[in-house]
Amino acid sequence: MSLTKLREIQCDCGEMFTAEIYGSINIGQNPELKELLLAGELNVVSCNKCGNIIFVEDFLLYLDLKQEIIAFVYPLELKKQKETYEQSMAENFRIVQKDMNKKFDYKPMLLFGLEELIEILNAELELEDETQILEYMVNEFKMSSIKLSIRSSRKLKLPGIIPYIPDKKHEMKQQIINGLQKIINFSPDMINCKKLLDKINTDTTFNIEELLDKIKK
């Protein structure tokens, strides 16, 4: 579940007051907190005296098990001590697994500052939106597709499916090129499809078989 804690805050006006902030948020149980985070309103408080709006930077544990995200978010000022907090995260991750009575087969993220987390989440939303459009278009055009796991999509920065046009005359690389090209011709705003097509066409070291192997992992 999502947990809060009390923090002593000092406003620029000199007022000292106690505020309740989130120390951990579980998106599966409290999806509204994701919207609050993306809007930049999580752990934002108001001074009792002058009304000044204050962002309280503190440690946050972010859990979204459906999306396979466990993020340990430390204040930005601690980034210089990254190695120390890598060790701390490993220990805390063991505690989280014990408390939840669950062993995860994916690694947690070590982040510094909520902006870094927000950037990752916004990128994932973009991929999710593109995946939904792709699923519709693949079905509409009667194409085939390669499905990616959540972690493969995140790691490779690709939509959840890769479209291709089955054709025994062409190898898989060309089938994917043809599929991507058809999607882009119909909808030029498919940014991540464009990125993949550009990489396939311009990167001489790019190996489509290696990509497919990574997708399986």
Mean pLDDT of 100-122: 93
CB 41 within 8 A of CB 34: no
Same domain, yes or no, for 132 and 105? Answer: no
Residue 209 has a pLDDT of 73
Question: pLDDT band for position 152 (50/70/90)?
Answer: confident
User: Considering 94, 112, 130, which residue would you say is the last residue of a domain?
Assistant: 112
> Tell me: the pLDDT tens digits for 125-147?
999 999 999 999 999 999 999 99
Q: Residue 90 corresponds to which amino acid? A: A
In a shared domain, residues 30 and 96: yes
Whether residue 199 sits in one domain with residue 128 = yes
Question: Is residue 107 located within the same domain as residue 127?
Answer: no
In the predicted model, what is the mean pLDDT of residues 101-115? 92
Q: What is the pLDDT of residues 20-35, one digit of tens each?
A: 999 999 999 999 999 9
Same-domain status, 76 and 103? yes
Inform me whether the pLDDT recorded for 214 exceeds 90: no
Is 120 in contact with 141 (CB distance < 8 Å)? no
Q: Are residues 74 and 173 in the same domain?
A: no
Mean pLDDT of the chain: 91
Q: What is the pLDDT of residue 216?
A: 59
- Shared-domain flag, residues 44 and 87: yes
Q: Which residues contact 88 (CB under 8 A, 6 or more apart)?
A: none
Q: CA separation (Å) from 92 to 65, 80, 95? A: 17, 19, 5
Do 191 and 131 belong together in one domain? Answer: yes
Band of residue 115 on the pLDDT scale cut at 50, 70, 90: very high
Q: Which of 112, 134, 162 is the last residue of a domain?
A: 112
In which domain, by residue range, is 170 found? 122-216
pLDDT confidence of residue 49: 92
Q: Which residue, 63, 81, 112, sits at the end of a domain? A: 112
Q: Is residue 34 part of a domain?
A: yes
107 in a domain, yes or no?
yes
Within a domain: 117: no
Judge if pTM exceeds 0.95.
Answer: no
Q: How many structural domains compose the chain?
A: 2
Task: For the beta carbon of residue 201, count every other beta carbon within 10 angstroms.
Answer: 12
Q: In the structure, what pLDDT confidence band is assigned to residue 72 with cuts at 50, 70 and 90?
A: very high
- Note the pLDDT tens digit of each residue in 73-102: 999 999 999 989 998 899 989 988 888 888
Assigned domain for 55 exists = yes
pLDDT of amino acid 137: 95
Amino acid identity of 101?
N
Q: Are residues 149 and 179 in the same domain?
A: yes
Shared domain check, 58 and 131: no
Q: Are residues 35 and 108 in the same domain?
A: yes
